[in-house]
């Protein structure tokens, strides 16, 4: 029986991706929006940021206060939709109760929707 070393496989993948990124004219860019201060979400976002840096991606980590308004959050998503350095947008869920997560997800450009939650990406 062979035991799979998941950590080694993941490291090999990251190494391969880093080599491919070096051949590109421009590094892919990921923006992650974290609203509030949920500790588990903060760890997840930090790990994504570190993984991006390890493979040579441009990474933009955006922290917003828990009391951000719906309009302010949607404006931030629209800014990222229009930013040519950003190829993917991830809004860390769950959002605070006063925010409509579905509206936020639908505001993300389907082409930049990292999670694949936009209705166009899930086939609705």
Catalytic residues: 48, 92, 115
- Alpha-carbon distance of 104 to 97, in angstroms, equals 13
Instruction: Extract the tokens encoding 72.
Output: 């302010």
How is residue 112 annotated by DSSP? G
Q: How far is CA 117 from the centre of its chain?
A: 12
- Alpha-carbon distance of 51 to 58, in angstroms, equals 11
Contact 64, 34 (CB under 8 A): yes
């Amino acid at each position: 029986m062979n035991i799979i070393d998941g950590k080694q496989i993941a490291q090999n993948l990251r190494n391969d991706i880093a080599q491919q990124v070096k051949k590109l004219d421009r590094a892919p860019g990921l923006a992650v929006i974290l609203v509030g201060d949920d500790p588990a979400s903060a760890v997840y976002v930090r790990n994504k940021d570190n993984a991006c840096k390890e493979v040579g991606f441009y990474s933009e980590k955006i922290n917003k206060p828990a009391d951000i308004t719906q309009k302010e959050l949607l404006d931030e998503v629209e800014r990222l939709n229009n930013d040519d350095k950003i190829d993917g947008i991830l809004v860390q869920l769950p959002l605070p109760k006063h925010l409509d997560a579905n509206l936020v997800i639908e505001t993300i450009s389907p082409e930049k929707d990292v999670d694949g939650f936009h209705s166009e990406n899930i086939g609705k």
